[in-house]
Amino acid sequence: MCAIAGFIETAAGGPGTERAESLSRRARAMADRLAHRGPDEAGAWAEGEAGLAFGHRRLAIIDLTPAGRQPMVSASGRFVLCYNGEIYNAEDMRRDLEAEGHAIAWRGHSDTEALLEACAAWGVEQAISRAIGMFAFALWDRAERRLWLARDRIGIKPLYWCAQDWPGGRGLFLFASELRALEAHPGFRPEIDRDALAAFVRHNYYPDPHTVYRGTRQLPPGHLLTVAPGKAPEIRPYWRLEDALVRGRAAPFEGSEREAIDALEALLGDAVRRRMVADVPLGAFLSGGYDSSTVVALMQAASARPVRTFSIGFRESAYDEAMHARAVARHLGTDHTELHVTPREAQDVIPHLPEIYDEPFADASQVPTFLVSRLARGSVTVSLSGDGGDELFAGYNRYAQGLLFRRYTARVPRALRRVLAALIRATPPGAIDALFALLPESRRPRLASDKLRKLADILPEEGDSFFRKLTSHWPDPRALVPGALEPETVITDRGAERIAPDFIDRMQYRDILTYLPSDILTKVDRASMAVSLEARVPLLDHRVVEFAWSLPFSLKIRRGERKWLLRQVLYRHVPRALVDRPKMGFGIPIDAWLRGPLRDWAEDLLDERRLREGGLFEPTPIRKRWQEHLTGKRNWQDSLWTILMFEAWRRHKNGPHAS
């Protein structure tokens, strides 16, 4: 795992060693802003005549010798690679290159060299189509003076870019693993994008390709970007989730249930084993849920020694999964490390979130994700994660809710649903909680009144508006960001109905394209990289993703049991009794903290005068929700956290202005 940064400056051309050295210093300064992603080594490379420079920070995982240094020049001298990620079938690619007559004198055994020589021999598009891995890289073709940027299929690794003053293909082109590296270039102009801000307050993250800054973009997952002399940047896909969905539905899995379980276990087992290759200590996050437990079970099955596992717990029982993780670890025989975090320790992380996440990001589980990453980094350099199972195998509550919604909205008139929603809203939260308290604790949902009120918000909805409302923290961003024109996303794209006619398929499709890369994977990447820990996600091996789309829905949700097929794989390794329980999520009691120890911090950030002076938000709806939250009338923790994280970031950046 590493960090990359670089640029092309065409305004001031001319060859010469002096110019190359100047460009290298600038690229190195950009990369040094990302030292947390690569603390082991720094490197830079430049070509003065082209005005191009690469900067690199290395976290050495495979081949710890100087043979793995970057930027790396190909054996032919034609190509230069600046790369972040891991290619898990690098040895297979080496053998294929040699078998096809592309043998070279390998300088080491790094996956960097395998990827570089594959690009040189097969071309960029074929090389990454044959690769299994997570990556974001820049490749310079010295002969054609063409720059290639590529991002992995699912968006596990980040890649930002911008082209400033680029008419006719001249000006400044920048790219980096994080925005802070772009900010280190003297030519970069950071201007807050009000339109993208509207999307942020709706979702609590920036959906790609949008970012906080106008004119700065994320390269979408599964895409290539090319920059050639005299041309504007061109972007095209090399892999599309749409194609995987259509192929899967056109040729569905037709084997028996047992054959489906066998096939998934074999595929996941291979994905896990490939991600266990490292020249540094390796472990796994373990929450005790289905996804992480499956990953750890397959790791332990493939390992001759106990796997290192890590979990954190909280004193608040409603948020504490440590006991479940401990039970799974004991059954599997892992070398388990557990840390119980006090509220003070968790709250101490919050002032550092703008620095850790670099861009406004407002999923409150960012706090425990950072804490468990920091815990793991004390013992290992690589940790496997169970992320992706909910999206692939229909694990989120909203998929089950979507089934009920689809089944009953046709039967219940919309007017009656509006009346029912009004009754729920009129019921005091305490009364709702008291009603749910009559249920056995094992079946009692966390934040019951809040969830029921969210149900009231979506009851009157029709069709796809159900999903948008369900995933919106602020359903009307224009009321918060006056004058903003919220950009369209795949969530609002009616073309998704053609790609995925089934409503639940469509929900999963949209989640994998938006929520998964822009929220879940962003959260894990920034939290782990902040402590120089590489996180690997075997459930998001693209072969697993493609297989999941071939599965009939009955193998995903059966009799209300979500992730049915994935559970069957896990049950072969772990007894049901250790993992079957209501879904908790990975959260912290932000609602209570905002009314208690974080109240002064939040009040300062939500101050009406300061919000107006900031010139971005209309304070009235924000202040209304803040007061309702303080009085306990509603739990607005998620929507308030969105504003708090943006304002904390803006102060951290010393208040960049809006465009």
Residue 450 — very low, low, confident or very high, per pLDDT cuts 50/70/90?
low
* Angle between the N-to-C axes of helices 564-571 and 257-274, in degrees from 0 to 180, rounded to the nearest 10: 70
- The predicted-structure confidence for 171-192, as pLDDT tens digits, reads as follows 899 999 999 999 999 999 999 9
**Six-digit token pair at 594?**
């905002």
pTM metric for this prediction: 0.93
DSSP letter assigned to residue 306: P
Answer yes or no: are the C-beta atoms of 583 and 321 closer than 8 Å: no
Name the band, by pLDDT with cuts 50, 70 and 90, for residue 231.
confident
* DSSP string over 72-135: EE-TTSSEEEEEEEEETTHHHHHHHHHHTT---------HHHHHHHHHHHH-HHHHHHS--EEE
Query: What positions carry a catalytic annotation?
Result: 2
pLDDT at 195 over 90: yes
pLDDT of residue 83: 97
Contact 574, 331 (CB under 8 A): yes
Residue in 582, 583, 585 with CA at minimum distance from that of residue 638 = 585
> What pLDDT sits at residue 591?
92
Question: Using CA atoms, how far apart are residues 467 and 351, in angstroms rounded to an integer?
Answer: 32
- What's the rounded mean pLDDT across residues 406-424? 74
Q: Which residues contact 411 (CB under 8 A, 6 or more apart)?
A: none
Q: Which residue has the tokens 């918060």?
A: 480
Neighbours of 511 (CB within 10 A): 24
Predicted pLDDT at 445 = 63
Burial 218-230 (b: 16+ CB within 10 A, else e): bbbbbbbbbbeee
Strand 146-151 versus strand 335-341 pairing type = unpaired
Residue range 493-521: mean pLDDT, rounded: 93
Mean pLDDT of 532-552: 98
Pick 263 or 15 by higher pLDDT. Answer: 263
User: Residues 31, 4: contact at Cβ < 8 Å?
Assistant: yes
Q: What is the pLDDT of residues 321-378, one digit of tens each?
A: 888 999 999 999 999 999 999 889 999 999 999 999 999 999 999 999 999 999 999 9
CA dist 591 → 306, 316, 480, 517 (Å): 38, 13, 21, 26
* Res. 421: pLDDT tops 80: no
Tokens read off for 637: 């923790």
pLDDT tens string 289-317: 999 999 999 999 999 999 999 999 887 66
Structure tokens at 556: 């995903």
Residue 132's region, left for phi above 0, alpha for psi from -120 to 50, else beta, is beta
572-587 pLDDT, tens digit each:
999 999 998 766 556 7
Q: How far is CA 598 from CA 179, 263, 591, in A?
A: 28, 49, 10
Kindly tell me if the per-residue pLDDT of 15 is higher than 60. no
* For residue 448, pLDDT beyond 60: yes
- pLDDT at position 318 is 66
As a whole number, mean pLDDT of residues 24-45 equals 97
Q: Do 171 and 163 meet the contact criterion of CB atoms below 8 Å apart? A: yes
Domains and CATH numbers, the chain: 2-239 (3.60.20.10), 249-393+520-579 (3.40.50.620), 589-659 (no CATH)
Gap between the Cα atoms of 452 and 345, Å rounded: 31
- Position 112 scores a pLDDT of 97
pLDDT confidence of residue 584? 59
